[in-house]
Structure 1
Amino acid sequence: MILAEDTNIVLDADEPALGEIEVAPQVLEIIAGIAASSVDGVARMRGSFANSVNELFGRKERGKGVKLTFDANTLKADVYVYLNYGVAVPQVALAIQEEVKQQLLVMTDLETAEVNVHIEGVIPEKTTSAIDPNNLFGDQEDDAGDAK
């Protein structure tokens, strides 16, 4: 078994070509990451500490949350995602599997044997704060003006 990050993946050509076509594993991770992120219900992909540091410096990591293995011309993808609260987990997971498999096939002509979806967590909806910074304690009237 070879981790995809160890070597470039050579694409087989059906027609005579002028040379070999090699794809860097990071390209496949980016394709899978963008495909998974585009599915409705996916809040974000899991990242590592290194991804977080890179994003602090303005470099967007598109391949985060994806791990690829390439063994005997078989591509396997593990996708790690956080979902939005309230979505149907099985439906979103199936949609992620289909989208990742389809995009890898369309863009690289590689058959994906497995797309394993790992749900890392659920992200609740953001609630807006109803606290007025000028009136922290609610509807209190200014009593100082009424006293004489």
Structure 2
Amino acid sequence: MDAIQKLENGDIKISEDVIATIAGVSATDVKGVAGMSGGLVGGIAEILGKKSLSKGVKIDINDKGAFIDLYLIVEYGVRIPDIAWEIQDKVKTIIQTMTNLNVIEVNIHIQGVAFPNIKEDDPQQKQSK
């Protein structure tokens, strides 16, 4: 269901895909977020060259407002509760500012942890073996 706002001069309809894109871009802009987790279908679409800015975002809009679920991959070493709170606040604020849509919930689902690349030529890595 799209977000619909009734105004004096007519209606404004904002697609769920637009809201999902705003949420995905806002979330990945937070330091410590490695990316979105789109599952098997999203991964296949990316392999085929179709990159989706709304990957890893589920939107449900009803008469009360928007419920948003974000499926994320975080960088190794971040404090997950802190980054989750920051993402929730940022996504809610940006969506409400850009669309005037009431955001009821922003649920964070951590799907994985991205580790830094370990190079065989790195002397510090060889010492720790």
Following TM superposition, where does structure 1 have runs of at least 4 consecutive aligned residues deviating by more than 6 angstroms?
none
Q: 5 Å matches for 1:1-148?
A: 7-13=1-7, 16-17=8-9, 19-130=10-121
In 2, the alpha carbon distance for the partners of 1:120 and 1:58 equals 23
Task: Give the CA deviation at 1:93.
Answer: 0.4
Structure ranking higher in helix proportion? 2
Matching residue's letter, 1:112: V
Structure 2 regions of 5+ residues with no counterpart?
A: 123-129
CA contact (8 A) 1:11 1:108 kept: no
- What SS does structure 1 have at the residue aligned with 2:38? coil
Structure 1: give runs of 5+ residues left out of the alignment.
1-6, 132-148
Q: From the two aligned structures, give the one with the greater strand fraction.
A: 2
C-alpha RMSD of matched pairs (Å) = 1.5
Contact residue 100 and residue 115 of structure 1 kept, 8 A = yes
Q: State percent identity of aligned pairs.
A: 34
Q: Report the TM-score when normalising by structure 1.
A: 0.76
Q: Which amino acid aligns with 2:37?
A: R
Q: Count the aligned residue pairs.
A: 122
Tell me how far 1:58 sits from its aligned partner. 2.0
Q: Which has the larger radius of gyration?
A: 1
TM-score normalised by L of structure 2: 0.87
